[in-house]
Chains A and B, each alone.
Chain A
Amino acid sequence: MESFDPAELPELLKLYYRRLFPYSQYYRWLNYGGVVKNYFQNREFSFTLKDDIYIRYQSFNNQSDLEKEIQKMNPYKIDIGAVYSHRPSQHNAVKLGAFQAQEKELVFDIDMTDYDDVRRCCGSADICSKCWTLMTMAIRIIDRALKEDFGFKHRLWVFSGRRGVHCWVCDESVRKLSSTVRSGIVEYLSLVKGGQDVKKKVHLSEKIHPFVRRSINIIKKYFEEYALVDQDILENKESWDKILALLPENILFCRISVPIDLQKVDQFDPFTVPTISSICHELDVISTNENEIAENEAESDIKHRTKDYKKTSLAPYVKVFERFLENLDKSRKGELLKKSVEIGYNPGGMAIDSPYCFQKLRLLTTMFSLTWWPTLML
């Protein structure tokens, strides 16, 4: 692990955005094949800058615009908003009421702190590989449902860089879904209901719905490992604490948000995801070796820049992202062909009223309470 000083962050980010950030893949994603006019141009981005400055309604004409602005602003965090009826950067020029959010991916946000009331290994600020198993189970359960029950094909799972994961569902029909249908999907996936005043938050009826049954089957696979790992971690917990105490807290907060390979979700280890400082260090090593340190941006630099990430530990993550993009492309081509042959089906939906359609999800956490488990061994 690298030693890390928060004051270094702006410099590290500058390097990251010049040499590593995958602009072309990012643009390829959000452009969605350029099929719909101005889809990329009407997309809202927001930046969180140094000192917690937050700016909304950023929008860009093309990849190069996006690149220039990010390099100029050096954001600590980039959020992707909805696609609006007009260019977000010009929203003030639009007649009152006419500027509306129109489409957005369906995004799930699972945070480790949602499991605080059932995990005993860590407090709310920490994660360890035992509680990460809870996350792995959640990913499997939700992904199976989104794929098999709802028929969603393009699901991008991303490690948020801190303590959680996001799932971006990008199917064309999904981006058009109304907010009521979105809430319905979240409700379908929810088992834990109730605020502070409800003790028993999970109620299962006599009949077990296939969603619940299949989710239980997934948990069964992990449960043994989860119980065993319990012992291991607790034994070594003291030594872990010692190591963690040495590191400044900030180190946990500066990992890069990377896609997760679903085929290998069981092996995903958030502790091995590169941090901003480690990745920049890798670049330095490469540059020293290849003698490419330059003050100004020369033309040849651009060519090298686009391939720099391939030499770093970011490469496998970008590959996952590219596979996702290829599937989107394939699907698009298939749809265009189909539409030219028959009348296509479009479930459609009404316009979305809130631009940031994140749905928080707590999932099946009380499954881990041992007193409840025996009743499920049907």
Chain B
Amino acid sequence: MQPQPQRYMPPQPGYGPPQGYPQTPGGMRPPGPPRPPMPGGPPGGLPGGPGGPPGGLTAGVAAMNIGSPLMSASAGAGLKSPQGPPGPPGGPRTPLGPPRPPGPPGAAHNGLHSSPMPPAPGAGPQSNGAPSPGGPSLQQRYPTASLPGGTPRAPVGPGASPQPPTRPPLPGQPGVPASAAPGPMPPNMGGPGMRPPMTPGAPHSPMPGMPPSSAPGMAPTGPGMHHSPMPGMPPSSAPGMPPSSVPGMPHSPMPGMPPSSVPGMPPSTMSGMPHSPMPGMPPMPGMPPSSMGGMPPHSPMPGMAPPPTSSASPYGGAPPMPGGPPMPGGPPMQGGPPMAGGPPMPGGPPMPGAGYPPRPGMGHPQPGMAPGMAPGGQMAGPRKLDPDQMPSPIQVMADDQANRSGQFVTNLKGQVPPLTTTQFTVLDQGNASPRLIRSSVYNVPVSPDMLKQTNIPLALSIAPLAELPDGEQPPPVVDLGTLGPVRCIRCKAYMGPFMTFIDGGRRFSCPFCKASTEVPQEYFQHLDHTGQRLDKYERPELCMGAYEYVCTKEYCRNNEFPKPPAYIFVIDVSYNNVKSGLLHLLCNNVKEVLRQLPIDVGQSASSMKVGFITYSNVVHFFNCKPVLAQPQMLVVGDVQDMFVPLVDGLLVDAAEAEAVIDSLMEQLPALFVNTRETEVVLGPAIQAGMEALKAANCSGRLFVFHSSLPSGQAPGQLKNRDDRKVLGSDKEKHVLTPQTQFYNNLGQECVQVGCSVSLFLVNNSYVDLPTIGQVVRLTGGEIFKYTYFQAELDGDRLLRDLSRAVSQPVGFDAIMRVRTSTGVRPVDFHGHFYMSNTTDMELAAIDSSQAVTVELKHDDKLTEEDGVYIQAALLYTACSGQRRLRVLNLSLNVCSQMADLYRSCELDTMTNLMVKQAVSKVLDSSPRAIRDQLTAQCAQILASYRKNCASPSSAGQLILPECMKLLPLYANCILRSDAVSGGPELTIDERSFHMFLSTSLPVRRSVAYLYPRLLPLDTLDVSEPADVLPSPVRSSQDKLHDQGLFLLENGVHMFLWIGLQLGPEAVQDLFGVQSVAQIDVDRPSLPNLDTPLSIRVRGVIDEVRRQRQSHMKLTVVRQRDKLEVVFRHFLVEDKGSDGSASYVDYLCHLHKEIRALLT
């Protein structure tokens, strides 16, 4: 084994290790091998590896890779969390607890780890990076395979997966490991730090398993974790867990665990730990063990590559499941585990136990371990780093999909949910679905210090009205009649699953403010012997995380029940829009669009009203009262002081007034066919819509179809200040800041009325979006942009976007408040809304495609017993006019160990916040400062991990926590995104569009937005159903080839890249022409050909659009066409044409920063 890894190493300097893994994957055994190497390696390896790395490290890059592997490991852990729950094996944990103590060893570990780590990194990374290709998959498979066979798993688990390892590690660390480990560890290190354990574990008992595990090790970590969790299955997890726990617990846990854990496993793990450590560990010596034993392995995993797998898994397992719960115990993760996680997770018990222990252990050890990686010799070769060795989001997603798809039960506190890309279904058992609310951290540090030290953002991304996939029930609606929602007397929190009833059910105590409130008589119910209300499972608000209340009048504006909301189409009818065909297009299709008005639950037809306003330099209102023979047009020329000229008839029921609307739609184009008006107003048009809603006393949304800079004499008149050259420079904020406050004020006024504004921009010149977009931002609207709109080319796209915008679930006149239990509180808010105070987000409307991101801060210390409770309440008017309150509850764990924190991070949510933060800084900071700040934050996150959680390793090694192994990549993506750093190649409007867009992105979309998906279409299997997507490849030019056909999309843009050598048959099938050169690249769609390939490709495109819920424009790019530059801009792993760093370069840079921080 060693040889191999080493070889790899050499070939791929810093990355070597990772590669090694990957390669190893070939024989999952690698793990096995690794160890060998480890042992040997560690000693020698370490020196050598590390040493080498160091040298390489200088380059810094190498480290990175390594890190990632480690990361993966942790990630794995996270995944396991689910298992954790099962972990209930309180027993085990407890035991673990003790192990933890060893924690201290951790320190030692660190030292040790450091050395081991290096190797690990090397390995780890490889595994990760390489893994992605071969390794990972293998690993995954393993896990999977293992899963089937409980035992196998175990092995895997231990080896790859994690849990076993995890636990083992813990125990190992604490106890024996230390001693034994030391010895072994080093060796491990040599190989993959962590791996060793894993491997060991595997080797030992599940040798077979191990190998896989080891191999999987890396991958497994991720996958492994996932799997176990995924399965959620006691069995699988059990196996995995037990082992882990066992391992971790070795002694005590073991016992406890044993039962739960698969015998086989435990032993393996156990043995793994002890043994492996022993064996493998040896090298590790004192430290190693610790690291090894507990988390170290994991962290080291990364470092170790091989170990990572195992360790990773443990981590994974631990973090998620136990992660939180166990954590409580703090050091004695196990202690914790038993706590919450354990108990609840009956099935999982063992798992959790295992998981936990590992974690805790991991936590401590991790530090040492995780970091371990990279530096090694690999580092040395930074320049030659193989991009493929870098942690890959594709791989991570694939792993997550493999491990965590299935059902996600939200019955446990602080469970890290699957990635948004993963297909899973949610079973709401007390916490709201992660589709509705996600946290960046599921294990909140007890004190603010730790957060400050790590610089990990604590944030929630809330998409309260997100659409749920088929198979998931929408939040149930609770109607308590005149009683209204039951609330805490002090903090006004709403009745939810976290409320505890006391005093025989006569009072309830609020987890947010601790106050106890009398239960209203109508609501009283006796408690059963466990202290639960007898009707707990009959009332959604007592047992579910997300539900809705029907509101009483007190929750309504002016204490009156609202009227059904309205959609008003506000159409610019100036020359541009008539010429471009927009007006015709809309008029011809409005009828169809109106059929899609949203229908509320329990309704048979939509009760929403619609209205029409047009404008150019004056504003035209249309009276469409159904009783009229023909529509009436009322022109208001008083744009200085807009008002609504009619009482009723503007807002009508679309079905009742169909005839009049039809006739209006026939008339409209004729009315304006000869217009030559080019001086357009905008402010008054929006005011008109707003006033109309105000007059009708209802809330609603305006769909404004606007064409040009509002230069007409009217409030909100703007001057042209187009100067795209300043984009990207320090002066960019001048053009990105509104030139007048008018639209901000207008937005605020709109919010007061409950009027949301969505803007369809069909401009062909500068419109000063930074200014006019404010009104959209403040009113919870969306911007759709169609530059150089031509009806025949873009009409379909606009109509689809419009249909979606009209039909999507939406709430009006909303107000949202996030309540948190004492100790933390929301401090910063990002998204499209207005705030008039510091706590309430006022959303004129919020729809399913938008999210708000809320940053939390400590304002006090937390206690691990209590955890952190979050309740986001959205008071809104449904499309039927019913006033409802949607309540989302989420509980998080509290940890005192940094490792726990790192194990339960949700990177996607974190990046979601980071983008928004970066965008919000654009206006008052310079691009450079933003870049530096973001890099500094990442560096600190990683450095602090390295310093506090990973085992000591050479400074040259880059160690990444499993959960965050993609952080450098995403950070780079953020920095390269159009929103944050769009330069002169964009127009100001374009840039602004991206800024607004990114501000309201839900996590689901931000992931895609940051890291575009590149789908190879040339290898499509046409026999598959049309909507099956091929596996994406990394967004790098390296993946392209002359014969290729690729689809690139990020939710906003979509490109079809055609290699010049694309086979003529394919060209013929797809485009109906002879050669690539003849393809009409200006077409916005593929010709509708009846060939299998065409059907398949169009199926893919449709599917992508469906997934993104956006009818992205298809831009056809031929290789070497001019447009290719634009296309390449989205290959985010490459060096950008504007000089932005490639993934590899950025990684190196970041590593340098980390090292700077560490010294």
* Mutual binders A and B: no
What is B's interface to A at a CB cutoff of 8 Å?
none
